[in-house]
């Protein structure tokens, strides 16, 4: 009996199997603690603001528009102005933050409970590691540390892609996508989410019952700053950009 257990442990903690097996062990411990009531398994729909667009057909932020930020600097930048450098840093931060948020939403991390996503990933990661190690890797690789790390990275990439596919249908249960288009957003208010919004660059959040939509915006006049409210007054279907106008703070929404 003990020999069989020892053989099994040697198999599941060999080479690139050990990261997947450790993760699987942590998941099982969490499930056991949840069953005995030691921890709360939150299966409610996600309410985290990832700043992403629930649907690619909603004309929200697209990466091709992001490079505008590279040219949205003051003339002082040519002279190495600290103000221009600071604004450039803010815009770079906004750009990377938006890209990170869209990546998370692409993986469905903002649409289903994190424990379900993590559980699905863990099962697939362990399965991929087991199948590839026992049916492909053993004859080709020695279970050294460097080899195990590189093979584990490969397995993680494969498991992430499979998790994206596996959790896709779940989003209809936990985060049904609202149907929004440019026409229904006309006249509605949004909130500037980048450090500033100008006639050349800017993004804003439009709040919905689910995660907010992240919109590319351009102002029709004065520069807006992060947190300012703006009203959507137009839409450029070719550039997928919303035209906004500043909302008078004295006028209630």
- Distance CA(192)–CA(183), nearest Å, equals 20
Query: Helices 145-167 and 114-132 meet at what angle, rounded to 10?
Result: 130
What SS3 state is found at 225? strand
CB within 8 Å of 228: residues ≥ 6 apart = 191, 192, 197, 246, 247
Average pLDDT over the chain, rounded to an integer? 77
Are residues 177 and 211 in contact, defined by beta-carbon separation less than 8 angstroms? no
Is 90 exceeded by the pLDDT of residue 48?
no
Is residue 136 packed enough to be buried (19+ CB in 10 Å), middle (13-18) or exposed (0-12)?
Answer: exposed
Most confident of 56-70, 88-102, 103-117, 216-230: 216-230
What's the pLDDT tens digit per position in 125-143?
999 999 999 999 988 998 8
Pick from 54, 45, 58, 55: nearest CA to 211: 54
Distance from chain centroid for Cα 121: 15
Structural domains of the chain sorted by starting position, each given as residue range(s) with its CATH number in brackets: 2-41+113-169 (no CATH), 56-105+179-246 (2.40.50.140)
Are residues 174 and 111 in contact, defined by beta-carbon separation less than 8 angstroms? yes
CB within 8 Å of 208: residues ≥ 6 apart = 54, 178, 180
What's the pLDDT tens digit per position in 177-220?
555 677 888 999 999 999 999 999 999 999 887 678 889 999 99
Cα–Cα distances in Å, from 168 out to 27, 106, 112, 177?
21, 10, 9, 12
The two tokens of residue 32 are 């056991």
Is residue 205 packed enough to be buried (19+ CB in 10 Å), middle (13-18) or exposed (0-12)?
Answer: middle
CB-facing half-sphere around the CA of 194: CA atoms within 13 A: 33
pLDDT grade for 50, boundaries at 50, 70 and 90: very low
Which contiguous run of DSSP H or E holds residue 17?
helix 17-35
Q: Say what the pTM is.
A: 0.51
pLDDT grade for 111, boundaries at 50, 70 and 90: confident
- Average pLDDT of the segment spanning 30-56: 59
- Average pLDDT of the segment spanning 40-58: 46
Which pLDDT score is estimated for 216?
Answer: 93
């Amino acid at each position: 009996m003990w020999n069989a257990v020892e053989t099994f442990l040697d198999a599941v903690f060999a080479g690139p199997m050990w990261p997947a097996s450790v993760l699987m062990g942590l998941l099982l411990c969490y499930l056991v603690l949840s069953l005995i009531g030691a921890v709360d398994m939150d299966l409610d729909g996600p309410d985290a603001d990832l700043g992403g667009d629930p649907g690619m057909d909603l004309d929200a932020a697209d990466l091709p528009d992001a490079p505008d930020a590279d040219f949205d600097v003051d003339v002082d930048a040519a002279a190495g102005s600290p103000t221009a450098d600071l604004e450039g840093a803010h815009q770079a931060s906004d750009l990377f933050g938006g890209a990170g948020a869209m990546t998370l939403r692409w993986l469905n991390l903002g649409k289903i409970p994190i424990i379900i996503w993590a559980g699905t990933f863990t099962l697939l990661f362990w399965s991929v590691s087991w199948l590839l190690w026992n049916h492909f890797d053993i004859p080709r690789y020695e279970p050294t540390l460097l080899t195990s790390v590189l093979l584990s990275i490969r397995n993680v990439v494969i498991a992430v892609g499979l998790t994206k596919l596996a959790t896709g249908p779940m989003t209809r249960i936990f985060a049904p996508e609202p149907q929004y288009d440019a026409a229904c957003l006309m006249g509605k208010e949004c909130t500037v989410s980048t450090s500033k919004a100008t006639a050349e660059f800017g993004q804003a959040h439009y709040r919905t019952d689910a995660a907010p939509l992240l919109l590319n915006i351009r102002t029709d006049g004065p520069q807006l700053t992060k947190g300012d409210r703006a009203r959507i007054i137009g839409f450029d279907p070719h550039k997928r950009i919303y035209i906004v106008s500043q909302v008078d703070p004295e006028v209630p929404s």
